[in-house]
Amino acid sequence: MSAKKEAARTLDHELTLVRVFDAPRKIVFEAWTNPKHLAEWWGPAGFTTTMNAWEAKKGGHIHIAMNAPNGEVYPMGGTFIEVKPPGKIEFTASALNPKGEAIFENLTTVLLEETGGKTTLTLRTKVLSMRPEAAQYLAGQKEGWSQSLVRLEALVTAKAK
């Protein structure tokens, strides 16, 4: 069964996506917290991800780069606020400009609930701050997250077999 879009809503730079995966919560949580697995699915279709830091623990650092098919690099930094196995991950994330300055900062919360061996993932991301140039990046946020979650679904479904 493929990930099913249960809900998608955008309110003034706030996005909520809900997906159901045919995989146990433990596998989905591991895909979010293990940098090796995260590098396999993070980013839109066609992107690769370089993991410089993904320390999935309270206060842990995030420093990754999404590499677009056209060669563009999109660096991101952030900090984990809460990591509660196997059901909650919360972190801040900032898209960075070439000077390493935040273009915008998001607060992202991932909740995982398991029923009958399937996991319902609820992802909420809210813009906390932004510069004027952030609008072009935020315009693609829903599509980017949706494509990332399709990639996540493929990974966790394969691992669950």
pLDDT at 94: 96
pLDDT interval class at 12 (50, 70, 90):
low
Query: Dihedral of the CA atoms 94, 12, 152, 144 (nearest 10)?
Result: -70
**Per-residue buried b or exposed e for 79-106, using 16+ beta carbons within 10 Å of the residue's own CB:** ebbebeebeebbbbbbbbeeeeebbbbb
Residue 86's domain spans which residues?
A: 4-160
Q: Does position 2 have pLDDT exceeding 50, yes or no? A: no
The 10s digit of each residue's pLDDT in 59-76 is 999 999 999 999 999 999
* Residue 23, domain CATH: 3.30.530.20
Q: Give the chain's domain count.
A: 1
CA distance 96 to 73: 10
- Report residue 127 as tokens: 């813009």
pLDDT interval class at 145 (50, 70, 90):
very high
